[in-house]
Structure 1
Amino acid sequence: MSTTKFELSRNAFGKLILTNEAGEVFEGVSPVRAFPIQSPLISISMVLTDGREVAWIDQLDDLSEESRILVLEELEGREFMPEISRIDSVTSFALPCTWKVSTDRGETEFVLKGDEDIRRIGRASLLITDNHGIQFLIRDMFEIDRHSRKILDRFL
């Protein structure tokens, strides 16, 4: 697939408005990533509230600077998946336990209930779900610091 030609803007209420090449106007569109973890900057669908796709973005770089910024702002507002950069400590290697971590959104702590709450995504990524259902991402478990890797090894 290739990127659909369109322009984006916001209305007075902050909703995205998409105008395609044919001049059709769609109000309230939302970007949805096809591969949010493995390839977050490619394969993005622009959909209406009923789920109908009205445009396709093969790569974000295909868009104008203005449209790219609007898509990224909308995605950030809808998605909340902090990325863990370091595991500072765990209270125990028995479950449940409390993890203290540093993320791209600051430092936090959460409770890991069970082994099933750590899932592998592809070869190197991990998705960790806390006791409240919040998902934390480790993009590459082989790139994380040595201390964090030692802790991870005890749970994998």
Structure 2
Amino acid sequence: MSINFELIRNPFGKLVLTTAEGVVHEGVAAVRAFPVQAPEDGIALVNHDGKEVAWIDRIEDLPAAVGALVREELSGREFMPEISRIVAVTSFATPCTWTVNTDRGDTEFVLRGEEDIRRLTADTLLISDIHGIHFLVRDVRELDKHSKKILDRFL
């Protein structure tokens, strides 16, 4: 598949997009339309004003070098650790502190209330801590028995 833009990283580390018409947009950012359900599909490249200047249907359809730039930009922009195990909670009443294992390392966070646990699908949860950091539970069924037991008390 051919794309109708060129994407490079300048010496200052910023993405530079040049359209087929020759219009240059410096400092573009990649933004996922569906960060949890379809993280590789529907990527907008937006300028510094937040205006969309290019659309990517699927990252895998891009040339390898361009796809790598887009993935690199997305990983530097987003921070959503994925919880693999709930080790402990300080209380079953909120607010409480959760100790968890994630794909980004072990951490603790404060859950303000049960309303900060949102069900995205039947098996996917998004948990927000007191500082607004989002933690993802991609598949509740994949959690160990101990983690599920703790989670059940809050759902």
In the superposition, the TM-score normalised over structure 2's length comes to: 0.92
CA–CA separation in structure 2 for the residues paired with 1:99 and 1:50? 37
Q: Does 1:126 align with 2:125?
A: yes
Corresponding residue number in structure 1 for 2:80: 81
Q: What stretches of structure 2 of length at least 5 have no aligned partner?
A: none
Q: Report the number of matched residues.
A: 155
In the other structure, the counterpart of 1:66 is 65
State the alpha-carbon separation in 2 of the partners of residues 21 and 51 from structure 1.
20
Q: How far, CA to CA, are the matches of 1:114 and 1:52 in structure 2?
A: 35
CA RMSD of aligned residues (A): 1.6
Shift of 1:22: 3.1
CA distance in 1, matches of 2:110, 2:46: 35
2:70 is paired with a residue of what secondary structure?
A: helix
Contact 2:3 2:62 in 1 (8 A): no
Q: Distance in 2 between matches of 1:89 and 1:46?
A: 40
Of the structure 1 ranges 48-57 and 101-110, higher mean CA displacement relative to structure 2 is found in 48-57
The answer to whether the Cα contact below 8 Å between 1:83 and 1:136 also exists between their aligned partners in 2 is yes
Cα offsets for 1:7-66 (capped at 9, x unmatched): 211112111011233333221111111101111110001111112211111111011111
1:1-156 pair list within 5 angstroms: 4-156=3-155
Letter in 1 for 2:152: D
Q: Tell me the distance in 2 between the aligned counterparts of 1:45 and 1:129.
A: 24
What secondary structure is seen at the aligned counterpart in 2 of 1:68? helix
1:30–1:74 CA contact under 8 A, matched in 2: yes
- SS at 1:71 equivalent: helix
| Structure 1 unmatched runs, 5+ | none
Identity of aligned residues (%): 63
The TM-score with structure 1 as length reference comes to 0.92
Alignment partners' CA distance in 2, 1:129 and 1:12: 36
Cα 1:143–1:74 shift into 2, 3 Å? same
Tell me how far apart the structure 1 counterparts of residues 29 and 116 of structure 2 sit (CA, whole Å). Answer: 29
* CA distance in 1: counterparts of 2:2 and 2:87, whole angstroms: 42
Q: Deviations over 1:55-97 (max 9, x none)?
A: 1111110111111111111111111111111111112212221
